[in-house]
Amino acid sequence: MSAIVEMERISKAYEVARTPGLLGRRGADRALDVVTNFTLAVRQGEFVCVIGPSGCGKTTVLFLLAGIRDPSDGRIAVCGKAPADAVRVGLSSVIFQQPILFEWLTAEDNVLLPLRLRDPRWWWWPPRRARYQETVRQLLRTVELEQFARYYPDKLSGGMQQRVAIARALTLNPQVLLLDEPFGALDEITRDRMNLELLRLYDERELTILFVTHSIEEAVFLSDRVVVMSRGASARTGSSIVREVRVDLPRPRRLALKEDPAFFQKVREGRAALREAQVAD
């Protein structure tokens, strides 16, 4: 089956602080190569995690896939489209580290926002809103927040806010979910619960997921494949990708899996790859 997410020899350099020019003239720009020769093909229904040391370019990779940044070089496609187009038409959707919610909108209005923005009569919203009521109720039920539909974000806990953000990301029924350390700020128990909820959604909605995390345990628990990145290109591979660890553990995954020797073995493999990534620094 052909890939739903394709990155072919992607490089991304950021222009960073100019050196001061002489006599008021503009100084030279300096480019920082963040992502180098990054090739990744994700097939439909696959769950891929990206890990690597802080500052290695994980968020940059995700932003490239979400069309928030443009690559300096290489080819990239999501659902056969330019990444920004895939997001615009609702085929892919992003969830950030901090739940970015609109404080002046209730949980349900935050979830409805993608539909409101696309409604041909958005300016006549109050009467139009009613037609989406069932959709929003179902979405909030999906993340177990039906009771909190009328709450404003500042009255919800961090985990609940992130669940609202997840519900909103599902509003347009995307095929691809892109998540950047979405549960990084949560305590371990809540994180475990959110991981299980995400796996349930992944299963029910037959999603394809790209998930950035710092935690090798989380990566192994969730994914079919862990992509390990280094800061700067690895001398061995000539790319930002140091290694890929295939996680052929059975699904559905339950928390008991974390006690299984096969799980430990994969975590060990991931750790070794991470050490190699640090050496490549």
Query: DSSP labels for 158-169?
Result: HHHHHHHHHHHH
Rounded to a whole number of angstroms, the minimum distance from the CB of residue 160 to ligand ATP is 23
Give Cα 67 to chain centroid, integer Å. Answer: 12
- Of the candidate spans 53-61, 64-72, 167-175, 184-192, the one that interacts with Mg ion by CB under 5 A turns out to be 53-61
* Two tokens, residue 130: 């009613």
Rounded to a whole number of angstroms, the minimum distance from the CB of residue 212 to Mg ion is 6
Rounded to a whole number of angstroms, the minimum distance from the CB of residue 139 to ligand ATP is 28
SS (H, E, C) 2-25: CEEEEEEEEEEEEEECCCCCHHHC
Q: Which is nearer to ligand ATP, 59 or 162 (CB)?
A: 59
54 binds, among Mg ion, ligand ATP, none (CB under 5 to 8 A by kind): ligand ATP
Chain residues 37-66 in contact with ligand ATP, contact rule CB under 6 A: 52, 54-60
Residues paired with residue 245 on neighbouring β-strands, in sequence order: 226
34 binds, among ligand ATP, Mg ion, none (CB under 5 to 8 A by kind): ligand ATP
> Quick one: which of 37, 59, 92, 93 contacts Mg ion (CB under 5 A)?
59
Closest to 164 (Cα-Cα) out of 189, 212, 132, 197: 197
55 binds, among Mg ion, ligand ATP, none (CB under 5 to 8 A by kind): ligand ATP
Q: Residue numbers of the site for ligand ATP (CB under 6 A)?
A: 14, 16, 32, 34, 52, 54-60
Q: Residue numbers of the site for Mg ion (CB under 5 A)?
A: 59
